[in-house]
């Protein structure tokens, strides 16, 4: 298979989105290492238990990888106190990109969010400045989760300038796994 011998580290691979991403890369023939603080419900690749807030652990976890897909995060506002969300998400993204750059990894994908625009978790509600919204729309978060995603994108820009690593920051919308589809019935036309 074309991808045999290529290794992808997926952080947050025990999570909702990550478990699908791990499965996809395994199906494509990649060697996959899931890096998370917890085991997945259904293991399809090896899992290394790592706290990505620790740079040493992050270096160890990424060593030997050809690419990294960084999905690990506290995935929305309000789950834990705001500063804990900010610290976890900002430091884990920094450490993943610091380690990837230091190890000479050439490609990374990181999970940003539509929440970086600030509309989703706004304390003082506001709407888009124009629609359809695009990448040029200002990011105006009022919450630490949205801010952590803006900082993540800026961190990616910085490491690209420093090491040349290619980083794609995906501003993901709401992720719905198939088992939740019935919660979102189609409206009658």
Where does this chain bind ligand NAD (CB under 6 A)? 12, 14-18, 36-38, 50-53, 71-73, 75, 88, 92, 111, 113, 172, 174-175
Nearest residue to the partner ligand NAD, using Cβ: 15
Compare residues 29 and 173 and give the one whose CB is closer to ligand NAD.
173
Least distance in angstroms from the C-beta of 189 to ligand NAD:
26
Match 């380690």 to its residue by tokens.
99
Compare residues 6 and 87 and give the one whose CB is closer to ligand NAD.
87
Distance of CA 60 to CAs 9, 95, 103, 152, Å?
11, 11, 10, 21
Least distance in angstroms from the C-beta of 27 to ligand NAD:
18
Compare residues 80 and 129 and give the one whose CB is closer to ligand NAD.
80
Rounded Cα gap, residues 26 and 4, in angstroms: 10
Compare residues 1 and 16 and give the one whose CB is closer to ligand NAD.
16
Least distance in angstroms from the C-beta of 74 to ligand NAD:
6
Sheet containing strand 107-113, edge to edge, reads 47-49, 31-36, 7-11, 67-70, 107-113, 166-172
């Amino acid at each position: 298979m074309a991808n045999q011998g290529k290794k992808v580290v997926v952080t947050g691979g025990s999570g909702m989105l990550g478990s699908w991403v791990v499965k996809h890369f395994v199906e494509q023939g990649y060697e996959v290492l899931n890096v998370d603080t917890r085991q997945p419900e259904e293991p399809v690749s090896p899992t290394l238990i790592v706290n990505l807030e620790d740079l040493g652990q992050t270096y160890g976890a990424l060593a030997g990888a050809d690419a990294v897909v960084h999905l690990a995060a506290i995935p929305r506002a309000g789950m834990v106190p705001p500063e804990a969300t900010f610290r976890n998400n900002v430091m884990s993204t920094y450490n993943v990109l610091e380690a990837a750059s230091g190890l000479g990894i050439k490609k990374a994908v990181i999970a940003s969010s539509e929440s970086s625009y600030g509309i989703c978790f706004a304390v003082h509600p506001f709407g888009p400045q124009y629609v359809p919204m695009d990448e040029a729309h200002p990011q105006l978060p009022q919450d630490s989760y949205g801010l952590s995603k803006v900082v993540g994108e800026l961190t990616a820009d910085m490491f690209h300038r420093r090491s040349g690593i290619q980083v794609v920051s995906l501003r993901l919308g709401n992720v719905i796994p198939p088992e939740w589809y019935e919660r979102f019935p189609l409206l009658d036309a």
